[in-house]
Amino acid sequence: MLEFRLVQGSLLKKVLESIKDLVNDANFDCSATGFSLQAMDSSHVALVALLLRAEGFEHYRCDRSISMGMNLNNMSKMLKCAGNDDIITIKADDGSDTVTFMFESPTQDKISDFEMKLMDIDSEHLGIPDAEYHAIVRMPSVEFARICKDLSSIGDTVVISVTKEGVKFSTRGDIGSANIVCRQNTTVDKPEEATVIEMNEPVSLTFALRYMNSFTKATPLSNTVTISLSSDLPVVVEYKIAEMGYVRFYLAPKIEEDEDETKPQA
């Protein structure tokens, strides 16, 4: 038996919107400590890690850890039926192959029940080691989304370089090239508008803009985004979910390839 009651129901809607384009089916792992998800996209290039801690829910009950396989598109369809101010409750019985979403309107005069079929998904869980990143950039999420959108109209890949100067996003395409440099800027009125760069050593990595753009679907979840880069690791694009947890996107960089493996040396 599990039951989670989330007063800010729109949050769950936003979470689903942010990941459903990247991942089709995923297992939601429910344990006593919280509600989490880890899934790779179909081409195994990007990975989503979602955590909603138990403390963030008004009511959280999970008798034993279970993992519920859901089709994220279907789940999103159901959650779209919830109003933005609705309180969402997720319920599932032990051994049942369905999950119930209950939406209560703020005035309690409308209560809707949606039952969704679960599915068996054999997903692979990846161990993500804690790592020290060479550079961590925190910037307004809207700004990051804008940059990704703009650059994707020019090229397919973005080179993110972090130096002492700031963080540079550059791309190159058929029509030309573009560079966007964001300098560190902490002297703003609101802390969420600051751009903060913590750099241990300069990094420059290349990524597919298609994925980056898909990550920025999580922009409504948070005012700021944290981009952590290391030369030998996937980039982490993290959106914090206030007081509850996070959505983290991992994206494997594009790698300079010296030789084709199948091709023998002359």
Partner 1 sequence: MAEIETLGILQDIESLVADQLQVVSYKWLSRSYLIPSDTAKRLLQEFVEKHESGLQVVYALSGWLKNDPPSYHIRLVSGSKLPEAKQDFDGTCSIQVYSVQASIPKDPAALWNAEFVQAEELFKQPFTVDNCLRDNRFCGISNSYVKRSTDEIPASVAAPQPKTAVDGESTKKKTTCQNTTVPQPHKSEMQKVSPYVGLQSPTVVKEVKSESNHTEPFHQASKPIAAKEKIASLPASKKKAQSDKTSSSTGGSLANLWGRVPAKSKLGDNHADANHATAANPTVSSAEAQICAHEALQVDNSDDDDQHVNIKRSSNESGRKRRVVFDFSDDEDFEDAVSLASPENPKDQSCLDLKQNKELHKEKANSEDQLNGKLKIKEEKMSEFQQSSVEEKLHDSSAETNELSADEDDSNKIKKPTDAAPASPKRRKVLRTRTDERGREVNEVVWEGEEQKQKKDDVSSTKTSDHKAAETTTNRPPAAKKSPALGNSGAYPAVKSGGKKAGNAAGPKQGNILSFFKRV
User: Residues in the site for partner 1, rule: CB under 8 A?
Assistant: 21-22, 24, 40-47, 73, 120, 122, 124-129, 156-157, 206, 208, 210, 233-234, 250-257, 260-266
Q: How near is the Cβ of 110 to partner 1 at its closest, in Å?
A: 30
Nearer CB in complex with partner 1: 187/255: 255
Q: How near is the Cβ of 88 to partner 1 at its closest, in Å?
A: 23
Q: How near is the Cβ of 222 to partner 1 at its closest, in Å?
A: 23
Nearest residue to 167 (alpha-carbon basis) of 209, 227, 222, 207: 227
Q: Which residues pair with 66 in a beta bridge?
A: 30
Q: How near is the Cβ of 86 to partner 1 at its closest, in Å?
A: 26
3-state SS string over 39-99? EECCCCCEEEEEEEEHHHCCEEEECCCEEEEEEHHHHHHHHCCCCCCCEEEEEECCCCCEE
Q: If you ran DSSP here, which 8-state letter would residue 189 be given?
A: S
Nearer CB in complex with partner 1: 107/262: 262
Cα–Cα distance for residue pair 238/50, rounded to 1 Å: 10
Nearer CB in complex with partner 1: 13/139: 13
Nearer CB in complex with partner 1: 41/86: 41
